[in-house]
């Protein structure tokens, strides 16, 4: 597609349920990122995938959070046993890879997660 696509755009769930958020990056982009934006906060880095390298998971807030990237393209962010503090907008971005290049990250519109 032309841009980064995220689904669903909105998700309402009950506390304790698991949720899956999906990200389709821009075709040809080898790097993929997940961020979280809580109310009144900046974008918080969660996880980074680059090609076949081991992902950088240093931003994941707890072991309830996990992410996969299948076939070097689509990524799924899974939150298990959701808590109310998980309510936020989850943003995915992609870019051309390369550690040294100052690659611009292109963002999707995000998934707004509400945990009741």
Partner 1 sequence: DQQVKQNSPSLSVQEGRISILNCDYTNSMFDYFLWYKKYPAEGPTFLISISSIKDKNEDGRFTVFLNKSAKHLSLHIVPSQPGDSAVYFCAASSPTSGTYKYIFGTGTRLKVLA
Please give the residue ranges that form the binding site for partner 1 (CB under 8 A): 4, 31, 33, 35, 40-45, 48, 50, 56, 59, 91, 93, 95, 99-110
Q: Report the distance separating Cα 36 and Cα 65, nearest Å.
A: 12
In angstroms, give the least distance from the CB of 17 to partner 1: 24
Half-sphere exposure of 61 (CA within 13 A, CB side): 17
DSSP-derived secondary structure letter, 25: P
In angstroms, give the least distance from the CB of 15 to partner 1: 25
Taking the least distance from each CB to partner 1, the nearer of 16 and 114 is: 114
Tokens of 102: 């100052």
């Amino acid at each position: 597609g032309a841009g980064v696509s995220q689904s669903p755009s909105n998700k309402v769930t009950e506390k304790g349920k698991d949720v899956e958020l999906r990200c389709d990056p821009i075709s040809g982009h080898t790097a993929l990122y997940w961020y979280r934006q809580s109310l009144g906060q900046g974008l918080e880095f969660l996880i980074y995938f680059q090609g076949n390298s081991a992902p950088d998971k240093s931003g994941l807030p707890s072991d309830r959070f996990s992410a996969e990237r299948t076939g070097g393209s689509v990524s799924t962010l899974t939150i298990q046993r959701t808590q109310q503090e998980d309510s936020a907008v989850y943003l995915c971005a992609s870019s051309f890879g390369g550690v040294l290049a100052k690659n611009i990250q292109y963002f999707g519109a995000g998934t707004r997660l509400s945990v009741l």
